[in-house]
Structures are given as C-alpha cells and as structure tokens.
Structure 1
Amino acid sequence: MRYHQYKFKFYVNASHAIYINGNLGERHSHTWEITINTLKIQNNFVQFDRLEQQIEEYFSKYQENYINEIPPFHHVNPTLENCCEYFKQELAELLRKEGWLLLMIEMSETPTRAYVINLLDEMGDNHNKDMEAIADAILDKLVER
C-alpha cells in the first residue's frame, strides 16, 4: 500500500551521565537530534504547528536540564538507546491521540551516529486497526475525486 509520510525533527539540548560497568561517568552535554517519521491516520487538514508545539512542549522538560534527574532516567541509565526507546513510547501515544501513527524514530547525539527504531517491525495487534484506518482514509479521498 502506498501512503505519504511526514518527517519532523526536534532538538533537545541537555546533559546526562551514563553508567558504564557500574560506575557513573562524567556529566556531559549534547544537542540530541530526534527525527520522527509519521503517518496521518485521519484524512483531514494537517495543522503542523499545533503538532510541533505539542511535541516541543513534551521535550521542554528535558531542555537545558540534567536528564539523570528526570523520571524515568533517575532509575534508568540514560543511554542514547534507552532515551530513544522511552521517547518512542511517549511520542507514539501523544501522536496516536492526535490522529497520527509513529512509523520510525531516530535519535542521535553526534552527526555521525544515530539509533533508529522502525516501528513497522514492532506493530502487532494495532497494525491491522491502523492500516484499516489508513485504507479507509485513502478510499474516502478517492471517492471525493
């Protein structure tokens, strides 16, 4: 099935320290680049600024802060991978409430390395429901023509 995706990029300036072999390393800063690929489930007008504002608001608790002090990272080692996994869950729910489907999230702490989660590989039970909604939206669009 062919469909159109939207890609959004966000930047989070924050610091963290990670545990390596049980020892907490030095606190250091990053500008994390977080890229998400999404799909609009409902076929209605897209208000990008509204969605972007909601996601920026979500990330605001991390901006210019020490991630180790923010739940769940006060108990979870805030590695690139763990942060990306957590943001995936949170953003997928936020997007779903707004009628969007998260397809992929990519998070990098340097321009040369990124951690990528492709949710199409993870979609289980919700996949059929989401694909039905997408197919219905496409059919509705075709009928309108």
Structure 2
Amino acid sequence: MYICDCSAFFEANFRLMAEFVIGNVLDHPHLAKNLSLHRSETHLLMTMETMDGQDLFELFPPGNELDARPVLREMLSAVAYMHANGIVHRDIKPENIFRAGTTNNYRLIDYGTCEFFEPGFPTASSSGTLYYRAPELLKGTYYDPSKADIWSLGKTLFNL
C-alpha cells in the first residue's frame, strides 16, 4: 500500500496516479498488480496485491546463484513484456523484486519511475537507484532505456 499526501507537490500525486495506471494495465504473472486507487480530501491511497514482505536480499543469502536462476527467468520475462508494451521500469533492484505470497513466484514492483519509450529512440532522462544504474546513465549521455533496464537486472542478480 502506498499513501501520498495530497498537499505534496503535484508531481508526487501525478506519479502515484501514473504508477497505478501502469500497474493496473500491465498483465503479466511476474509484475505486481495494482488493485485500487482512492482519494480522500488529504491523501491518495493505492493498494496492490499482497506480497510476503521479503525482497531478494532477504530471501537469498549472498553466493546463492543457483537458487536465484528461476528469479532471473521470471524477471527477464516481466521486463521483456514491459518493453514490448513500450514501458521501461528504470529502477530495477533487489528491493523492487518480491515473492508473491507464500509461493515461489516473484513480482517486479514499484512503477513510480516507469516511463513510456519508443524502441530505437534514445533518451537522456535519468532515474533509478544510483548503484543499479547503467554506466551510460552516469555519463549523462543519450542511451537506450530498455538496455539500461537489462543492465540493472543483471547488476541486481550479480549482487545476490
């Protein structure tokens, strides 16, 4: 569940609404589903499907590459689906990959930095957690955002 103070900047409210739409429109078994968006006089409240509260760092001790391979397959499938639908995540990291309920299925969460993109058209916009950013983002040059997502996923799994 996310709660956003409506008195906050317009951009924060807009981002939460955009995040809700993206998480509601995308339909893939390894992407978290946003369920509802409610507005009171003072807050926006977004609910999403239940996760068990553990991200990849909590689920996999360091050096457990073999156990992490199924997660890699699931996340590659989820990211490929997003890219095929013209959306880049821009903040793939262990803290944004959770186990769904008590199953061994994993979900990519947090669509707050997602953007629409056109394949073949580079961008210079930069977002995401610094440690997981692709080198071209750090240079501040134009880059392919879909390739940057793949870099972030690789860096995520390298750190397990």
The normalised TM-score by structure 2 is 0.27
Greater relative contact order, per chain length (Cα 8 Å cut-off, separation 6+):
1
Of Structure 1 and Structure 2, the greater strand share is in 1
Q: TM-score, normalized by length of structure 1?
A: 0.29
